[in-house]
Amino acid sequence: MKKSTLIAVVMLTIPALLSAAGHGEGSEHYRMITGRDSDFIPRVFNFLIFAGLAYYLLAEPIGNFFKNRRDKIAQSLQEIEKKLQEAKEAQKKAEQTLAESKKKAQEILKDAELEVEVLKERFKALGEKEIESLQRSFKEKISMQERKMKKEVISSLLDENIKPDDIPLTASKVIDNLAKKVA
C-alpha cells in the first residue's frame, strides 16, 4: 500500500509543478524555458497523468461496484427464474387438479343421472301403486254408493208400497226376529 501511495503523490506533484507556470508576465519566461508559446502538451500530459491516477485509484472500487451490481442482478434473475419455475409447476399441478376435477364432475354427473333414473322408476312405481289404490278406493266407494242407493230405493219403494198394516206382526214373530238377530 505504501508503494501505491508514493506513486499517487508523485503523479500529483509532477503535474502540479509542470502547471505552475502562469500566463501573463511569466509567459515570456515560459517561452524562454520551453521554447513554445503554448502549454498544450504539458496540459495533455497532466490530463493523461490524472486519468491514469484516477484509473489506478478508482478502477478497483468501480470494478467492485459493477461486479457487485452484476452479481445482484444475476441473483435477482435466478430468483425470478426460480419463481417462474415454481409458478410453472404450480400451473401444472393446477391443470392436473382441474383434469381430475373434470373427471370427478363427469362421474358425479353419471351417478346423478343413474340416481335420477332410479328415482324415476321408484316414483313411477309409487305413482302406479297410488293410482291402483285410488282406483280400488274409488271402486269401493262406488259399490258403497250403489248399495246405499239400492237401500234408499228399496226403502222408498217399501215405504210407498208397503204400509205397516200390510204386514201382520205378532208377538211371536217379533220375538223370533229378535232371537235370530241376537244369535
Tell me the pLDDT of the chain (183 aa) as tens digits: 567 777 777 777 776 666 655 555 556 776 777 777 777 888 899 999 999 898 888 889 888 999 999 999 999 999 999 999 999 999 999 999 999 999 999 999 999 999 999 999 999 999 999 999 999 999 999 999 988 888 887 777 666 666 666 566 677 776 777 777 666
Q: What is the pTM for the complete model shown?
A: 0.39
Residue found by looking up cell 234408499 in the block: 152
Contact present, 60 and 32 (Cβ < 8 Å)? no
Neighbours of 7 (CB within 10 A): 13
Alpha-carbon distance 26 to 33, whole Å? 10
User: For 22, phi and psi rounded to 5 degrees?
Assistant: -105, 180
Q: Which three cell numbers stand for residue 102?
A: 373434470
- Name, in order, each residue with C-beta under 8 angstroms of 46's C-beta and a sequence gap of 6 or more: 15, 18, 19
List the helix and strand counts (H, then E) for the chain. Answer: 4, 0
Q: At what angle do helices 40-161 and 2-18 cross, to 10 degrees?
A: 120
- Name, in order, each residue with C-beta under 8 angstroms of 31's C-beta and a sequence gap of 6 or more: 37
